Structure 1
C-alpha cells in the first residue's frame, strides 16, 4: 500500500460514511451509479435533510415568546455558532441569503458603492457570481476592473499575478479559494497578507463555495472581510447561502430594515431549518473527527474531521491520477490528457479535468452516463466556464469531482470505464 493509500478511511469507517448519505452508490431508481459531479452539488447527508424537514414543518415564528418560538431561536443560535465553527470566525456578522451568489453581489455592491478607489481586482477564474458582480459595479461606479490571469500549468492563479494589480487606489479584491474548473487552490493566506501590505485598509472578499467541503478554513489565519459558502455543496440542502462579514464590511450601507443593527444583513426572517442543516453538517464532520481524536471542543473536532476528509480525498486524487492494483491511472491511459496536472497534490482539491484525443467533452459525458457514471462537461460556450477555459486555451474539458464518501473501489471502477471509453473512441466505435 502506498503512503497516499494509507490516508484512506478504513473499510468500516467508509461503510459508515456511505450509509449517512443518500444515493452514493445508486440513483433514486435503484440503478448502480458513480456520481462524480459533486462540484455541481454534493451528496446530501440524511441527517441534514431530516433536520430541515423536521424544523421546517413547524408553523411557529421564531420572533415570538412562546415555547416553540424559543426552541427555534435556539436552533438559529446554535446554527450561527456552527457557522462560526466552520470558518473560525469571531465578531462580524453571519448572513443567510437565498443563494451564495446573491450574497456575493450584495457584498461587492456594498464595497464598490461606499469605499474610495479607482480600481478593483479579481481573477479570470472567478465564478460568474463574483466576476460579473465585480464587472457590473465597476461599470456603475466608473472604476477600472483589473483581472489577474490564470496559470495554465497549475490551473490556478499565481499570488504575484494578483498582488501586482493592487495599488493605493484599489477599493476591493475579490478572489476564489479554489477553482471549480481545475480544483487548484489559491493561497489565500499569502494573498491576504501581501495585499494588505500593499494597501492596509483593502477590502477582501473570498468565494469559498467550491473549497469549503474539502478542507479547513480559518479566518484567523486568512483575515478577509467577507466569505461565503453554499450548504448544498457541503453535504446539506439547497435554498440558502451562508456568508460571514467583518464588522467594517457589515456596517457599510446596505439594504437593511431601519430598526435593526447596522451590521444586520438579513431582510425578513431567516429559515431556522437552514441553521439546523448547518448544525447537522458540523455534527457529521465532528463525528469523523471523533474517530481519531479525544477532543471535546466542537471546533477542534470539526478541524480534525475536515483534515481527515482532506487526507482521504488527496489519496483518492492520487488513485485517479496514478491508478492501483494493476489499473492504470488517468496519467497513463492512452488517448486521455490530464489538464493542470502537477505533483503537489496539497495545492489541489478533489477535482480533475481531462480531455480525450478522439472524443469531445459532451460526447464523453454521454459515454460515461451510458456506463453508469455521472461527470460534467465544461465547454467554452458555457456561461459558467467559457471565460476560464479560454484563459487556458481550451475548448472544453470533462470535469471529474468525486467526494470523500467515495472509496478506492469507486476510483478503480471509474478508471476502468475511462479506459474503455478511450479505447472505443480510438477504434471509432
Structure 2
C-alpha cells in the first residue's frame, strides 16, 4: 500500500492496494476476480491475516485471567485494539467500546439490556423503512415482550428519509429511534447529526447502525452525539465474528448485563453477584481474542489510508458507476445521487431475476449480491422482491466498474433483452 504520511489525499495508490489482498490475486478463465460484495463482507489484507496467524502461533492464551507471559501479551494486544477503535470512532473512553459478535449482536445487546430495563407498555420505538433486519427484528421482539408500540419513518421515491415522518414520530416522544447511517441497499447516507439533534430535543435516545458507515467514511461518535452506535469488523477488513457497540458511558453504566458468566463479574456467591466494571460487564466468557486483535490491525490499515480518502475514493467510484450503469438499457437504479450515496449500488435489469443476473456475472468472475439483502420491508417499498447489488471498497477501481457494465451487456444478450 503506497500512502504518503503528508499529503495522503494526493498520494494513495489505489491500484496498488489490491495487491495487499491475497484473495483478489486469483483469476478464473483468464479473468481476474472483480469482487463487488463488500457490503456483505470485505476481503482481508495480508496484514490482518498475518496478525491472526501470529496470535494463534505465537501468543495464544486467554485474556484477563493469566499472570504468565502469553496471557499478559494476549491481554495487552486485546486491550490495545480497544484503544485503537476508541480513537477510530473518537469515543471519549475505551470503556465505551464493547466487543460483541457483530453489529447484530450489538443491537440485540441494546434492545435486551437497555430495552428491558427502560421500555414499558405503551412506549414507542421508532425505526426506518430502510433498515437492515438486524435493526428491525430486535425492536419487534422488544415490542412483543413489553407491549411497546412501533412507529416507522418512511422514505421518498429517490431513497431519502422523509423528514415530515421524522417530525411526526418525534412529536410522540419515543423512547428510542433506530436508524442506519448508510443504507445497505440504497446507499443513502443519512444526516445522523441532524437526526440525533432532533431526537434529543424531545428526550429520545438514538441507536445508529453504522455497519455500512464505519468501513467507508469518518465516524465521529461525539460529533454525532448518538447514544449507541453498532458496527461490525468483517465489513471493514477485519475477521468475521467480531463487532463493536459504542455506548455513552452513563447509559452503559446504568444497563444490566446481557450475558452472565465468566469475566463479566467482580465476585460471585451462591445467592448474589457483583458485576465487573465497563467494558467487561458486557463481555461474558472467553471473547473472540484473535478477532479483536485482527480488527485492531484492520483499523490501523484504514487509518493509514485516512477515512476521508476512503470516502472520496468511493464517492468518485460510485459516481462513475452510476453514470456508466445508467447507460445500460432496461436497467433500473435505486437510491440517491452520488453526493449522498454510499458504497452500495442496487439495480434491476429488465425482467431478469437478480439471482440469474448474478449467475451470469459470476461466469465473468464478477461477484455481486442478489436478493432482498436482509431488507424485505424496503423491498416492499420499492415494489420488487429483490435487487442485484454491487458494493465497492478501497480495492475497487473504475476497471471493476467497466467489467460490471460489460457483464451486464452480456446478460442482455443471453436473456435477449
User: How many equivalent residue pairs?
Assistant: 390
TM-score (norm 1): 0.85
In 1, the alpha carbon distance for the partners of 2:317 and 2:25 equals 16
Equivalents in 2 of 1:318, 1:168: separation in Å? 38
Deviation at residue 404 of structure 1 after TM alignment: 1.7
Alignment of 1:225-244 (within 5 A): 225-244=227-246
Alignment match, 1:292: none
Structure 2 Cα separation of the partners of residues 13 and 130 of structure 1: 36
Determine if contact 2:354/2:371 at 8 Å carries over to the other structure: yes
Partner residue, 1:180: 184
Q: Secondary structure at the match of 1:101?
A: helix
Matches within 5 A, 1:26-105: 26=26, 32-57=32-57, 58-62=59-63, 63-91=65-93, 92-105=95-108
Equivalent in 99, 121, 129 of residue 126 of structure 2 = 121
C-alpha distance in 1 between matches for 2:385 and 2:103: 28
Whether 2:407 is the aligned partner of 1:390: answer no
Moved more, 111-120 or 24-33: 24-33
The 3 A distance-change label for structure 1 pair 98 and 247 is same
How far residue 412 of structure 1 moved from its aligned partner, in angstroms, is 1.5
What is the aligned partner in structure 2 of residue 317 from structure 1?
318
Q: CA deviation at 1:253?
A: 1.6
> Which residue of 2 is the match for residue 170 of structure 1?
174
How big is the alpha-carbon RMSD for the aligned residues of Structure 1 and Structure 2?
2.3
Would the alpha carbon gap of residues 341 and 219 (structure 1) be closer, same or farther in structure 2, given more than 3 Å must change?
closer
Give the 3 Å change call, closer, same or farther, for CA 52–426 of structure 1 in structure 2: same
Ranges in structure 1 where 5+ consecutive residues have no aligned partner? 1-7, 289-304, 323-328
Is the Cα contact below 8 Å between 2:182 and 2:212 reproduced in 1? yes
Q: Summarize deviations over 1:95-132 as a string: whole Å, max 9, x none.
A: 11223212211111222212256111111221212200
Match of 2:151 in 1: 146
Q: Which of 247, 270, 285 is 2:302 aligned to?
A: 285
Match of 1:254 in 2: 257
Q: Is the 8 A contact 1:358 1:426 kept in 2?
A: no
1:333–1:419 Cα contact (<8 Å) kept:
yes
Kept in 1, the 8 Å contact 2:228–2:247? The answer is yes
List per-residue Cα deviations over 1:151-178 (Å, max 9, x = no partner).
221x242344234212464211111111
**Structure 1 pair 12/246, CA: closer, same or farther in 2 (3 Å)?**
closer
Matched residues in 2 for 1:85 and 1:161: separation?
34
Relative to 1, partners in 2 of residues 1:217 and 1:341: Cα closer, same or farther, differing over 3 Å?
closer
1:419 and 2:414 are equivalent in the alignment: no
Structure 1, 252-261 or 309-318: larger mean CA deviation: 252-261
Structure 2-normalised TM-score? 0.87
Pairs within 5 Å for 1:225-374: 225-251=227-253, 252-255=255-258, 256=260, 257-259=264-266, 260-263=275-278, 264-288=281-305, 305-322=306-323, 329-342=324-337, 345-374=338-367
